[in-house]
A and B are shown apart, each in its own frame.
Chain A
Amino acid sequence: MINELLIIIFAPLIAGVIAWALDIKGVREALGVIGAAIPLAYLIKLYPTVMGGETIQYDITFGGFTFNFVLAPMGLVFAMIAGVVGLAAVLGMASTARSSYEWLFALMSLTGVFGIFLSYDLLAFFIFWEVMTFGSFMMVLKYNKSASLKYFILSVIGAYAMLIAIGIIYARVGSFSFIKVYNAFAQDAALGMVGGETLFSRGDMAAIFGLFLVAFGVKAGTFPLHVWAPDAYSETNQSYTAMFSGVLSKTGVYGFILLYMLMGYRLMAEFGTFRSVPSFGYIIAFLGGLTIIVGGLLAALQEDIRKLFAYSSISQIGYILVAIGVGSALSIEAGIYHAISHALFKGLFFLIVATIIYRTGKTEFKDMGGLAEKMPFTFAMAFVAILSLAGIPPLVGFASKWLIFESVISQNMPILGGMVFFGSAIGFVYLIRFTYAVWFGQRPTDLDDVKDAPLPLAIGMGILALLNVVFGIAPGLVAGELNKIIGKDVIGGTIWELDIGVGKYNGLLITIWLVIGLLVAAIIYFLGARVRRVPVTDTYQSGNPVTMDYNLTIRRNFFLPLKEALSFWLRISFDKLYKDIGKTAEDFAETMKNYVYNGNVQSYAWYLAIILLILAMWGV
């Protein structure tokens, strides 16, 4: 019998290859959905076993290496995110994908993601990391070459940084297996405490940490390595971006958690703590804080719906990094919780964006407006997503943000706390801009015959929206499972309630009292006289009559004052810096080409002479 783990990992890829090979419209969509549904079904089937404390493992020897796969609680939770959001995204793709090419590579990257979450040795981790990167790169390449190259180059830098780090570890430990690596680091930490001879020197540890920081930072979109994300997230199939942003970015997050699990003690023993937080964690957290601010502010200034959500995605990842960086059991749980809720609401957002682009064919705010009446279902979904991302109780986005706030602040981290607070306001700000420009106000006349979401997209959105609401009202459902990862009750309370000692949050009570509040308000509203519906042009314009020829909605540069207030900071751009570095490297290569390959036969003879001279001096 083939092992379940292999089925989970390879089902999407096989389905993708078949869909690509057959390339029959209707069949490839069905195959894609099946390919994404099988892993989810298996994960759900194995869920009680694994959460009950049993681990499922599978080893395979291939090409001289032994690859270990283990389904452990941590990996399972992340794989569940991938399964749910992946299924929703694939349902969306059934409407928006244009060719079998997209099915192949979208499902290939899903295989990569499952492989990352299930692999239990560094080599398998790296290989699936590359599979995932390649799949997503090909998805972007189809739409925009320069965006895909930017993504590819940064990903390659990240991947090779990881490869070097893995190489250093392998050179010292002699194994790729997580268990052996963990034991080696733990032993080293203990030895280091008593002042014994350690396997890894201080320099080794700094190098490994720095390299992994780059590797995972690129994938997570950490400031200042975030520049690929706005282009790559926007220049591809938006249904796929639901997975790209919702799941693929989580692999970076998972990487950081892995860093904690494998070598946290050793790094802490080597570099000490900053106040109550490990120093290395504080670096991650501080970068996360900057990521929140930079991503959020840039999101507010975008004029393109896809770019806005790309930056928003970066900003939200910042929260997770802050929580993980702080590194207490509570804050890591909070970080994973936010990873779940981010996947749920950001997956939903990108499906909404996919619907809007699929139905209207437009991506910029200046071309849209007043769509709420034409697409009521999509608007309702957007409403849930907006409330969730902005952190409005009782949705899941609030529960997870609340946990992050409290876990960070209760660790005595005032500056990080301030950064997180700013992030929640900026989230509010860019979402309202999206709401205003897309859904409300005057509708351009060319959007008058727009239809609502197609059925597969609607199902995908429905799944995610439902989970947003359910997990929001019953936040304990997720918290209880997260407690099982850590192995003790870090977050107390019932399924309705989160209790972390310094504070309590009850999703159900908030829902009930919100309903009561709304009822009171509704009673006052309905006691008043009846309302008369007026058209959008029947409005106050300084007492002047208006017609549809006037543009009543502010669609461009909505946050101009913000841009002006930040003009100094906006001049500093990492995008430009990288472009300059790239340009310099190109020029250097050009110069080298001109000087070395100069076409002069005599100079080639001279090279030979020089080499011979070197060999002679070496004593050959």
Chain B
Amino acid sequence: MFEVALKALFLLLYATFVGFIFMGIIRKVSARIHRRVGPPLYQPILDTIKLLSKKSNITHGLIYDFGIIYALGATILALFFIPIGSVSILRAYGDLILITFLLEIPMLGIMFAAMSSGNPWAGLGAQRALLTLLAIQVPLGFAIVALAEFYGTFSTYQIVMAQQVSGWSITHVSLLLAAIAYDIVLQAMFGKEPFDIMIAPGEISLGPMVEFGGKHMGILQIQHAIALFAETLFFSNIFLGGAVVTIFASPVLNTIASLGILLIKQIAVLMVAIFIGNIFPRFTIDQAAKFYWKWPTIIAALGAVLASL
């Protein structure tokens, strides 16, 4: 019991910290792509501390507060179900479908909070967020189906273990197709261009986030950091082989090594997203829907059909 609590605490702190560094990396790399110096890597942490220590906060009612808390709580819940090397707490229940759902439900909290503010921009942002969610769900679904059909199990941990034996998922043609589709979906899940339609800075004043400030925004920053960590981790686990290192005698060394390998894979996933995000302008929402229902869907469906043969 105590051990589980300790692990959970470690995982939470690690995920939050790494997530913030990821946010820093996004800003730093984007700056370098634009030939700027950019902020230091720890800048998002400073931003969040500033936001959390604001003296004056506003609220539009109970749901406005609860939605934010729910968003962070659900993100933390999702995190615990994804296997992280050998640290994970609930990896026996780390079901593909469950995690896919859990990674989506924080959005519900954000939207509840945003919409309860009554701001028209927030309503517009919620509409765009929902349509993006609807658009990505088709290729995402097929990618998940492809994985489950290929490995014959829904357990993420077992999929990681299977990859230890038979090589990374992306070395198989059917799963490579699924991974490509999933990676295009990730762009929207991270909220990066060309699919940052939900936030759309400069176009609809940050959409759902428009009315948040102070500690509400600070909590959303933490949520974003953990979600970023969880999403990259999930992708690395299911497509890039995850990491379960057992070569060292000491379990501590093994854990550190697995975390290190996972970190490299996560950063690789993130880099692809940043590069794409920085060179493509934003789609409009109907373009995004049509795009996701065309190429990524065809690719992922092909992968799913191949995997089931």
Binding site for B on A (CB under 8 A): 370, 372-373, 390-393, 398, 402, 405-406, 409-410, 412-415, 417-418, 420-422, 424-426, 428-429, 432-433, 435-436, 439-442, 502-506, 509-510, 513-514, 516-522, 524-525, 527-534, 536, 538-542, 552-554, 558-559, 561-562, 564-565
What's the Cα separation between A386 and B118 when bound, in Å? Answer: 20
Are B73 and A409 within 8 A (Cβ)? no
Are A522 and B63 within 8 A (Cβ)? no
Which has the most chain A C-beta neighbours within 10 Å: B12, B138, B154, B301?
B154
Contacts of B218 in A (CB 8 A): 524, 528
* A388 CB, nearest partner CB in chain B, Å: 13
Our pick among B58, B141, B210 for the contact of A417 (Cβ within 8 Å) is B141
* A376 CB, nearest partner CB in chain B, Å: 9
Q: Assess A502 versus B153: contact at CB under 8 Å? Given A517-B77, A518-B70, A554-B123.
A: yes
- In B127-171, the 8 Å CB interface with A consists of 127, 130-131, 133-134, 137-138, 140-142, 144-146, 148-149, 152-155
Are A418 and B142 within 8 A (Cβ)? yes
Contacts of A564 in B (CB 8 A): 286
Are B123 and A441 within 8 A (Cβ)? yes
* A458 CB, nearest partner CB in chain B, Å: 19
- In B81-123, the 8 Å CB interface with A consists of 90, 92-93, 95-98, 101-102, 104-105, 108, 111-112, 115-121, 123
Are A531 and B59 within 8 A (Cβ)? yes
Are B120 and A529 within 8 A (Cβ)? no
A-B contact count (CB 8 A): 254
Contacts of A509 in B (CB 8 A): 90, 93
Q: Chain A: which residue is nearest B144 at the CB level?
A: A421
What's the Cα separation between A360 and B306 when bound, in Å? Answer: 54
Contacts of A441 in B (CB 8 A): 115-118, 123
Are B73 and A425 within 8 A (Cβ)? no
Q: Chain A: which residue is nearest B307 at the CB level?
A: A414
* B152 CB, nearest partner CB in chain A, Å: 7
Are A435 and B112 within 8 A (Cβ)? yes
27 contacts between A and B (CB under 8 A): A373-B61, A402-B97, A409-B145, A415-B301, A422-B138, A424-B101, A425-B133, A428-B108, A432-B115, A432-B130, A504-B155, A505-B95, A505-B98, A510-B93, A514-B77, A517-B80, A521-B70, A521-B71, A521-B219, A525-B65, A531-B215, A539-B211, A541-B119, A558-B123, A561-B285, A561-B289, A562-B289
Contacts of B145 in A (CB 8 A): 409, 414, 417-418, 421
Our pick among B56, B72, B205 for the contact of A517 (Cβ within 8 Å) is B72
Q: Chain B: which residue is nearest A519 at the CB level?
A: B73
What's the Cα separation between A534 and B155 when bound, in Å? Answer: 46
What's the Cα separation between A538 and B155 when bound, in Å? Answer: 48
Q: Assess A372 versus B61: contact at CB under 8 Å? Given A440-B115, A553-B120.
A: yes
Q: Chain B: which residue is nearest A404 at the CB level?
A: B97
Are B58 and A534 within 8 A (Cβ)? yes
B172 within 8 A of A: no
Are A561 and B108 within 8 A (Cβ)? no
Our pick among B71, B102, B308 for the contact of A393 (Cβ within 8 Å) is B102
Are B80 and A513 within 8 A (Cβ)? yes
What's the Cα separation between A588 and B90 when bound, in Å? Answer: 67
What's the Cα separation between A368 and B210 when bound, in Å? Answer: 23
What's the Cα separation between A533 and B56 when bound, in Å? Answer: 11
* A83 CB, nearest partner CB in chain B, Å: 31
What's the Cα separation between A558 and B126 when bound, in Å? Answer: 10
What's the Cα separation between A613 and B292 when bound, in Å? Answer: 69
Give 14 A-B pairs besides A518-B69, A552-B119, A565-B290 with Cβ atoms closer than 8 angstroms: A372-B116, A390-B108, A405-B97, A421-B137, A421-B145, A435-B112, A514-B77, A531-B57, A532-B58, A533-B59, A534-B60, A541-B120, A561-B284, A562-B131
What's the Cα separation between A554 and B127 when bound, in Å? Answer: 10
* A558 CB, nearest partner CB in chain B, Å: 6
* B207 CB, nearest partner CB in chain A, Å: 12
Binding site for A on B (CB under 8 A): 8, 12, 52-61, 63, 65, 68-77, 80, 90, 92-93, 95-98, 101-102, 104-105, 108, 111-112, 115-121, 123-124, 126-127, 130-131, 133-134, 137-138, 140-142, 144-146, 148-149, 152-155, 205, 210-211, 214-215, 218-219, 222, 284-286, 289-290, 301, 304-305, 307-308
What's the Cα separation between A391 and B104 when bound, in Å? Answer: 11
Our pick among A424, A429, A442, A521 for the contact of B130 (Cβ within 8 Å) is A429
Q: Chain A: which residue is nearest B215 at the CB level?
A: A528
Are A428 and B104 within 8 A (Cβ)? yes
* A561 CB, nearest partner CB in chain B, Å: 5
Are B58 and A418 within 8 A (Cβ)? no
* A227 CB, nearest partner CB in chain B, Å: 24
Contacts of B76 in A (CB 8 A): 513, 516-517, 520-521
Are A554 and B52 within 8 A (Cβ)? no
* B189 CB, nearest partner CB in chain A, Å: 13
Are B52 and A534 within 8 A (Cβ)? no
* B286 CB, nearest partner CB in chain A, Å: 5
Are A412 and B118 within 8 A (Cβ)? no
Are B77 and A510 within 8 A (Cβ)? yes
What's the Cα separation between A405 and B222 when bound, in Å? Answer: 31
What's the Cα separation between A406 and B101 when bound, in Å? Answer: 13
Contacts of A506 in B (CB 8 A): 93
Q: Chain B: which residue is nearest A405 at the CB level?
A: B97
Which has the most chain A C-beta neighbours within 10 Å: B71, B108, B134, B211?
B134
Q: Chain A: which residue is nearest B309 at the CB level?
A: A412
Contacts of A413 in B (CB 8 A): 308
* B100 CB, nearest partner CB in chain A, Å: 8
Are B68 and A525 within 8 A (Cβ)? yes
